Structure 1
Amino acid sequence: MSQAQDTETVQEDGIINSVSGPVVTAADLDARMNDVVYVGDEGLMGEVIEIEGNLTTIQVYEETSGVGPGEPVENTGEPLSVDLGPGMLDSIYDGVQRPLDVLEQKMGSAFLDRGVDAPGIDLEKTWEFTPEVSEGETVEPGDVVGTVPETVTIEHKVMVPPDYEGGEVVSVEEGSFSVEETVVELSTGEEISMHQEWPVREARPAGEKMTPTDPLVTGQRIQDGLFPLAKGGTAAIPGPFGSGKTVTQQQLAKWSDADIVVYIGCGERGNEMTEVIEDFPELPDPQTGNPLMARTCLIANTSNMPVAARESCIYTGITIAEYYRDMGYDVALMADSTSRWAEAMREISSRLEEMPGEEGYPAYLAASLSEFYERAGLFQLFNGGVGSISVVGAVSPPGGDFSEPVTQNTLRIVKTFWALDSDLAEKRHFPSINWNESYSLYSQQLDPWYRENVAQDYPEVRQWAVDVLDEEAELQEIVQLVGKDALPEDQQLTLEVSRYIREAWLQQDAFNDTDTYCEPEKTYRMLQAIKTFNDEAFNALEAGVPVEEISNIDAAPQLNRMGVAEEWNEFIDDLENSIEEQIRELY
């Protein structure tokens, strides 16, 4: 090494000045904001978060015990980035995109030593590249130049990186290549490989953001039926401990009709993440029959992992989602949970001695949440295609208090709110989504889709169910005071109908092979059957039939079996006919 090079290296590197948990201060470090650095003798990965004079503050993504002043800090000069390319699906990463299975093989143990690292995708594995451009064609950033069969389910599209200039194709290769080998050369001298890098805190550019008009079909009746989420929309699932947030998120990841699922376990209990990691590889994809992991990327940053990596895992996940969106896929991102992410921000902020906001959270909490959710959407892509990211964030308010800052700031941003209720969970009513507190602002813009693809009167039937549930909530207050028998007969009948809506329609068994997924047509037919009972019952009531006789017909309890009926279409047809016959026989 020459003297000049040696001097340059000394200028770039610094030494540790102080250590406070995951926050390390270094002196004499030539760095910029968000640069990735390697801290201490073990080379722990960290990121520059503050620069003041000669002192640089770093958040370290690994445990810092044993690290002390005087140890070196090496700067990479690059921001925290993710490796993008074929091989990300069917992978399990930590918060900074280190592949956990690769590290486990490297270490020979599930417990990782500090300072170990590996690229996010296998740089040596070869992939079969099929060009989609020919020499002489002009390509621009975002254009697809070829395809690779990434999994049995997903075709990976190799694109011109968004930070390239583009130009005329000078040469193009076909065959097996590693991700770093050049497959397309442009007249500008730019070389395109299957591997891209992108800084996680910067949104990947896309074209125009459009208004979503298609629902993300989740297969869960209360969500698809009452509070739908659009493809490209945002949703929050707040709920206290034990109310079913994680199971609800996992159901969405398993059954939603997205092309790609990115599941982020952010600060949740290790046993819950273990369940996901063990279950997903064995689950068949309901859309293709192939393994579900063939279209899934898991990011696991459990509560016992370093807190700083938890702060970055949300950005890692959304950047991977944006990459697949740019290929024209519909991506569903599950963040479980954003409260743990906010707590990580709070811990880092307090160690930086920043001015605290409400409940000790940093003053920029709302801005950070907005920045994250704003990266969702339905986009007109630069290459002429359309891609979407739907973001579902779980929120874990302490004690189930929805007035705390993370829940309130999330509420201001998202358009779908699925409020989980511990009282419903205690009654074994699952999913325990409270229909009186939840809402969706997408309903009206999705109505045309439901009219065209499910039933013309779908929005009206849904509104009828909402009205009945609203009326029941008002009547329950009276029932608490004077009892059900004191109500007029028409109101008693309304309570009976609402009971079937709650028990037969809104309840759904995630562990029953038939009931775990409910297509929109079945969701509609089940509700229509309950409405048939309602209409016939009120006709009978007007004709003078006592409400007890109407409630006691043999067919009524069969409404509770609709969800688990395998031949549901025939079952509901027969049930509706039986209800009509049995009620009409009463008058």
Structure 2
Amino acid sequence: MSQGKIVKVSGPLVVAEGMQDADMFDVVRVGEQHLIGEIIEMRDGMASIQVYEETAGLKPGSEVYSTGAPLSVELGPGLIETMYDGIQRPLEGMVKMSGPNISRGITIPALDREKKWEFVPTAKVGDKVVAGDIIGTVQETSVVQQKIMVPHRIQGTIKSIQGGSYTVEETVCVIVDDNGTEHPLTLMQKWPVRVGRPYKEKLVPDTPLITGQRVIDTMFPIAKGGVAAVPGPFGSGKTVVQHQLAKWADADIVVYIGCGERGNEMTDVLMEFPELVDPKTGESLMKRTVLIANTSDMPVAAREASIYTGITIAEYFRDMGYSVALMADSTSRWAEALREMSGRLEEMPGEEGYPAYLGSRLAQFYERAGKVISLGSEGREGALSAIGAVSPPGGDTSEPVSQATLRIVKVFWCLDSSLAYKRHFPAINWLNSYSLYSARLDKWFAEHVNSEFPTLRADALRLLQEEAELNEIVQLVGVDGLSTTDRLKLEACKMIREDYLHQNAFHEIDTYASMNKQYRMLKLILSYYKEGLAALEKGAEFGPLAALPVREEIGRFKYVEEANVDTEYARVLNELQTSAQELISKEVDAE
């Protein structure tokens, strides 16, 4: 254990001398209160330490102890439903120890050491196992079964294994390796947060993460194992979008990281998530959720750690073969923490004061997402999808954090304040957003939804693009100066925008739309446009065509219950075709 003395205190940065034996990223204890810190720079025995707690009261000469181990998280039963701070200390446990105002220097285990879990072995004595193999299960909550895996770099033959009730520290299995060394395994394992958990193979993401949000699933889909960014200014609905994704996304586990967000916003999350009902199971959403809360008034250095803590927990569940959705809200606050620590280290600043390594640090975080084949002889397939919110000052996405993020992620959901002011939610701008997974996912949509679904999406996006061009002409000459086909195009785009892309997160039925319903809705709107074009070619007038009563039926289709979608679709489509034919017949009769 290395021991040194403080020579400088600069906010969350502490410099200590006499630390020659310590290593980079070692966890240290600072001062009389044993504050938790991490070494982030070494120079000739001088260690620069970022302290994860308030440093008021520290002075030169105070002692610093290195623990000799990097910042690690505890992985095992008890993670689900728990709310942690940025360095994986359970908030409820800290409140019990120190009251509502959390005191400094608290050391509390991440996993409850007294609670017993029912361990059910799936392996038996004599079995040969390698790292990643599952030796048993623990039913952690009513909806999540935790799989107990052989830790990394351990393999051999099972000498003993027994089911029963155990704490996370009690030995449940003993493995003997080829050298005859015994390795006792518990329900818990530790992993350093800055090191990605290993896997056997990384796969190409080719399955969509269905979210039930039409603008996302249809227009800008994300793949399971993909990465997405949600940049947007204050009030544009980033948090509601992430809540909707957490609630409805086709994921087994949700890890939500509140990184440097406002305290009242984080309080809303902590209060709402336990009350949200999981539509898949009917249980509380918390039964498959891990929350990490690190508000803006908490020490800056802990923000930097919270992102890594969250993604390491997510990787652990990915290795079990689960599909995990990670929400990080927001990476801008994390980047601000990087900037502050970089400034205190007196490093050469990059653009807007951010460190030169901002882009590489963001890449290290996002690249830990992916669809993989886990370690172990079974070859389980798991996916970790990362969705990061970005809060650019004033909504300006040309700032460094947004630009560095866009170079890494493949999905960009651009939240637009002008849409939010018009009460159009989700306020995702369909002209500025994109998804680079669309082409790869077309095959899945064609096989599992409908063969013409990719074509419908392309047609809808093309119409919206043409509408933007037509609107410039309308501002010059007025809508009456357009041809009837262009006016029909504007009407069809209005239906796409107001009936399809607009979705009410708080409506019982409209909050979620299955892929079948999304396909039927889009098909009806584009059928109206197609039938309208045919009617105009045969001499029908634009006025009666725009005023067809069936348009309201199409607009109300979003409120049709899932069980009635197919029958209602057939009825409305028939009514549409009949109405268009009647218009043509009237025109023929008039002639």
Q: How does 1:249-268 map to 2 (within 5 A)?
A: 249-268=242-261
> For residue 508 of structure 1, what is the aligned residue in structure 2?
503
> For residue 588 of structure 2, what is the aligned residue in structure 1?
none
Q: Which amino acid aligns with 1:564?
A: Y
For 2:581 and 2:381, how far apart are their aligned partners in 1?
A: 52
> Helix, strand or coil: the match of 1:584?
helix
Q: Which amino acid aligns with 1:482?
A: V
Q: Deviations over 1:145-185 (max 9, x none)?
A: 100001100110000111x3310111111111111111111
Q: How does 1:515-526 map to 2 (within 5 A)?
A: 515-526=510-521
> Helix, strand or coil: the match of 2:267?
helix
> For residue 418 of structure 1, what is the aligned residue in structure 2?
413
TM-fit CA distance, 1:193: 0.9
> Helix, strand or coil: the match of 1:136?
coil
Indicate yes or no: 2:257 matched with 1:243.
no
Alpha carbons 1:281, 1:293 under 8 Å: kept: yes
Q: Deviations over 1:396-428 (max 9, x none)?
A: 111111111111111111111111111111111
For 2:116 and 2:334, how far apart are their aligned partners in 1?
A: 36
Indicate yes or no: 2:101 matched with 1:104.
no
> For residue 3 of structure 2, what is the aligned residue in structure 1?
13
> For residue 83 of structure 1, what is the aligned residue in structure 2?
74
> Helix, strand or coil: the match of 2:404?
helix
Alpha carbons 1:216, 1:229 under 8 Å: kept: yes
Indicate yes or no: 2:573 matched with 1:579.
no
Q: Which amino acid aligns with 2:308?
A: Y
TM-fit CA distance, 1:54: 3.0
Q: How does 1:388-537 map to 2 (within 5 A)?
A: 388-537=383-532
Indicate yes or no: 2:117 matched with 1:127.
yes
> For residue 167 of structure 1, what is the aligned residue in structure 2?
156
For 1:550 and 1:270, how far apart are their aligned partners in 2?
A: 52
Alpha carbons 1:231, 1:388 under 8 Å: kept: yes
> For residue 136 of structure 2, what is the aligned residue in structure 1?
146
> For residue 155 of structure 1, what is the aligned residue in structure 2?
145
Out of 338, 342, 349, the position equivalent to 2:335 is 342
Q: Which amino acid aligns with 2:422?
A: K
> For residue 319 of structure 2, what is the aligned residue in structure 1?
326
Q: Deviations over 1:193-230 (max 9, x none)?
A: 11100000000101111101110001100000111000
TM-fit CA distance, 1:336: 0.6
Alpha carbons 1:99, 1:120 under 8 Å: kept: yes
For 1:230 and 1:578, how far apart are their aligned partners in 2?
A: 36
TM-fit CA distance, 1:44: 0.9
Alpha carbons 1:179, 1:193 under 8 Å: kept: yes
Identity of aligned residues (%): 55
For 2:173 and 2:268, how far apart are their aligned partners in 1?
A: 42
Alpha carbons 1:94, 1:299 under 8 Å: kept: yes
TM-fit CA distance, 1:571: 3.4
Alpha carbons 1:257, 1:287 under 8 Å: kept: no
TM-fit CA distance, 1:523: 0.9
- Residue ranges of structure 2 left out of the alignment (5+ in a row): 585-591
> Helix, strand or coil: the match of 2:559?
coil
Q: Which amino acid aligns with 1:173?
A: Q
For 1:441 and 1:313, how far apart are their aligned partners in 2?
A: 28
Q: Deviations over 1:454-485 (max 9, x none)?
A: 11211111111111111111111111111111
Q: Deviations over 1:304-331 (max 9, x none)?
A: 1111000110000000011001101110
For 2:459 and 2:472, how far apart are their aligned partners in 1?
A: 21
Q: Deviations over 1:101-137 (max 9, x none)?
A: 1111222x32211111211111221111111111111
TM-fit CA distance, 1:50: 0.9
Alpha carbons 1:50, 1:58 under 8 Å: kept: yes
Out of 38, 44, 61, the position equivalent to 1:53 is 44
Deviates more, 1:13-22 or 1:149-158: 13-22
For 1:53 and 1:116, how far apart are their aligned partners in 2?
A: 31
Query: TM (normalized to structure 1)?
Result: 0.96
> Helix, strand or coil: the match of 2:88?
coil
Alpha carbons 1:514, 1:565 under 8 Å: kept: yes
Deviates more, 1:62-71 or 1:354-363: 62-71
Q: Which amino acid aligns with 1:428?
A: R
> Helix, strand or coil: the match of 2:583?
coil
> Helix, strand or coil: the match of 2:324?
strand
Q: Which amino acid aligns with 2:276?
A: L
Q: Which amino acid aligns with 2:75?
A: L
For 1:289 and 1:574, how far apart are their aligned partners in 2?
A: 32
Q: Which amino acid aligns with 1:194?
A: L
Cα distance change, pair 458–265 in 1 and its aligned pair in 2 (3 A) = same
Q: Deviations over 1:300-358 (max 9, x none)?
A: 11111111000110000000011001101110100111111101000000000000011
For 1:268 and 1:575, how far apart are their aligned partners in 2?
A: 46
Indicate yes or no: 2:311 matched with 1:354.
no
For 1:291 and 1:298, how far apart are their aligned partners in 2?
A: 14
> For residue 191 of structure 1, what is the aligned residue in structure 2?
184
> For residue 217 of structure 1, what is the aligned residue in structure 2?
210
TM-fit CA distance, 1:576: 2.0
> Helix, strand or coil: the match of 1:47?
strand
TM-fit CA distance, 1:565: 2.7
> For residue 4 of structure 1, what is the aligned residue in structure 2?
none
Q: Which amino acid aligns with 1:157?
A: K
What is the aligned-residue RMSD (CA, Å)?
A: 1.1
Q: Deviations over 1:237-287 (max 9, x none)?
A: 111111111111111111101010100011111111111111111111111
Aligned residues: 575
Q: Deviations over 1:539-569 (max 9, x none)?
A: 1111111111100011212322222233444
Q: Which amino acid aligns with 2:466?
A: E
> Helix, strand or coil: the match of 1:456?
coil
Out of 367, 374, 385, the position equivalent to 2:367 is 374
Q: Deviations over 1:344-374 (max 9, x none)?
A: 0000000000000111000100100111111
